[in-house]
């Protein structure tokens, strides 16, 4: 499976310009599985719910989702892209999942970060896993990484790989994803952005880049820069993630002591 990650630098609210930039980068990438960042067509720092509703679009019927689906069709690729979603009077921080034959599903971010709580409603789509040819793919968005239950849930549902559209502002995620991959023996494909925004006065955000692919042994296969838009391509064998044993006695899923854990 040829993975492609696009690390972009959107201009807040300039949806058409951001889509054109993404489109030219997608056309150049040599990959059959492409991950784009969180809120990749709108920018990140919404100031309130009204703005999120105004810039939010229907998935899959809105123009941004339709354009990305057309590109996935032309490239004969699977594509996962973070988008601001409007569903009636509700705004979600969502991801579109589509492939060569069209729409596959939507994931709505479960764990909203900081001011996102003023703009979006928390997700109501249990962490989905899509059975694609060659890989079972789970989806989470950015701050979901901070909750180990997110990726564990997808591991228990059989995911080989998590697609992770992000707009990272805290420094820890790139290294922490190594642990998430070791815990679950899964691949993680994190697509981040670069640049900065300060749309809420006094709350400047600098996005940390470092989009990356990590394998089930915790090896960082490829990592982008901290400050430049960039495309990463890497070939992986997702089936490596199906071996959950780390020696003859230890299997990361069947050794779990669910009789001792108290997770609720």
Minimum CB–partner distance for residue 39 and ligand ACM (Å): 8
To the nearest 10 degrees (0 to 180), the angle between helices 173-184 and 148-156 is: 30
Q: How far is the CB of 253 from ligand ACM (least distance, A)?
A: 27
CA distances from 244 to 39, 162, 237 (A): 33, 16, 15
Residue placing its CB nearer to ligand ACM in the complex, 7 or 69: 7
Q: Is 143 in the site for ligand ACM (CB under 6 A)?
A: yes
d(Cα 171, Cα 169) in Å, to the nearest integer?
6
Q: Does 167 bind ligand ACM (CB under 6 A)?
A: yes
Comparison of 143 and 187: residue with beta carbon closer to ligand ACM = 143
Using CB under 6 A, pick the residue from 1, 91, 169, 214 that binds ligand ACM: 169
3-state DSSP assignment of residue 88: coil
Among 3, 15, 21, 38, binds ligand ACM (CB under 6 A): 38
Contact between 81 and ligand ACM (CB under 6 A)? no
Provide the minimum distance between the beta carbon of 136 and ligand ACM in the complex, in angstroms, as a whole number: 24
Single out the segment in contact with ligand ACM by CB under 6 A; choices: 8-16, 25-33, 163-171, 190-198. 163-171
Q: Cβ of residue 143: shortest distance to ligand ACM, in angstroms?
A: 3
78, 113, 120, 127: which one contacts ligand ACM (CB under 6 A)? 113
Listed ranges 55-63, 165-173, 188-196, 220-228: which one lies at the site for ligand ACM (CB under 6 A):
165-173
Active site residues: 38, 109, 142
Is 94 within 8 Å of 85 (Cβ atoms)? yes
- Comparison of 150 and 231: residue with beta carbon closer to ligand ACM: 150
Q: Is 263 helix (H, G, I), strand (E, B) or coil?
A: coil
Footprint on residues 198-227 left by ligand ACM (CB under 6 A): none
Contact 136, 167 (CB under 8 A): no
> Could you tell me how many helices (H) and strands (E) the chain has, helices first?
5, 14
Closer residue to ligand ACM (CB): 126 or 171: 171
Question: Beta strand 129-132 with 2-7: parallel, antiparallel or unpaired?
Answer: unpaired
Residue 142 touches ligand ACM, criterion: CB under 6 A: yes
Task: Output the smallest distance, CB 85 to ligand ACM, in A.
Answer: 15
Nearest CB to ligand ACM, comparing residues 15 and 168: 168
Strands (E), the chain: 2-7, 33-35, 78-87, 90-99, 102-108, 129-132, 135-139, 161-165, 187-191, 194-197, 205-208, 212-214, 220-223, 230-235
The beta strand positions in 71-176, using DSSP E, are 78-87, 90-99, 102-108, 129-132, 135-139, 161-165
Residues 138, 129 contacting (CB under 8 angstroms): yes
Provide the binding-site residues for ligand ACM, judged by CB under 6 A.
Answer: 38, 113, 142-143, 167-169
């Amino acid at each position: 499976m040829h993975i492609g990650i696009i690390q972009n630098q959107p201009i807040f609210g300039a949806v058409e310009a951001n889509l054109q930039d993404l489109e030219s980068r997608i056309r150049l990438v040599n990959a059959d599985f492409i991950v784009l960042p969180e809120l990749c067509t709108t920018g990140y720092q919404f100031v309130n719910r009204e703005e999120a509703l105004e810039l939010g679009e229907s998935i899959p019927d809105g123009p941004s989702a339709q354009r990305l689906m057309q590109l996935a069709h032309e490239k004969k690729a699977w594509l996962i892209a973070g988008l601001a979603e409007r569903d009636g009077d509700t705004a979600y921080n969502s991801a579109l999942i589509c492939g060569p034959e069209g729409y596959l599903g939507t994931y709505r971010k479960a764990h909203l970060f900081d001011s996102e709580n003023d703009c979006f409603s928390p997700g109501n789509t249990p962490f989905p896993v899509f059975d694609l040819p060659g890989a079972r793919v789970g989806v989470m968005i950015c701050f979901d990484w901070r909750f180990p239950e997110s990726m564990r849930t997808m591991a228990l549902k059989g995911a080989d790989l998590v697609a992770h559209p992000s707009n990272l502002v805290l420094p820890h995620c790139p290294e922490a994803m190594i642990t998430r991959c070791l815990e679950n023996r899964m691949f993680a494909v994190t697509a981040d952005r670069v640049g900065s925004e300060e749309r809420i006065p006094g709350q400047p955000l600098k996005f940390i880049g470092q989009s990356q692919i990590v394998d089930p042994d915790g090896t960082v296969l490829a990592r982008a820069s901290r400050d430049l838009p960039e495309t990463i391509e890497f070939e992986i064998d997702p089936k490596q993630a199906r071996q959950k044993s780390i020696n003859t006695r230890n299997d990361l899923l069947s050794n779990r002591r669910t009789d001792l854990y108290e997770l609720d």
